[in-house]
Structure 1
């Protein structure tokens, strides 16, 4: 009889592609977390065109840094 851990490792992990939301397998997927090379490139394009931004909080010291280094 297989142990519970062994049984869990045999289950395929299905995730949603971050680009198109289609279900895709995690194991043996060279494009993970995306479902395809197309979705991976769409995401890369969004980063390249600055479609995604990392939020900056006002208290981060950026304003003070810029004022002191002008």
Structure 2
């Protein structure tokens, strides 16, 4: 895990380091992981709905390579 933090407008934000890629999860209400935790496939990261910008029942996901955001479809 690269980072796990909370922003008032974005809610919980979790960044996972996959080597050459980083996945970013935004808009989490309750985070189940902390910075430095090791996670495996299928590990719950949190619950959705923690962002006033993204929406009460939603979250956002990004795939990044360096500073480049890779647009969908992935």
What band does the TM-score fall into relative to the shorter chain? under 0.3
The structure with more strand, counted as a fraction of residues: 2
The structure with more helix, counted as a fraction of residues: 1
Higher relative contact order (CA 8 A, sep 6+): 2
TM (normalized to structure 1)?
A: 0.21
Q: Which has the larger radius of gyration?
A: 1
TM (normalized to structure 2)?
A: 0.20
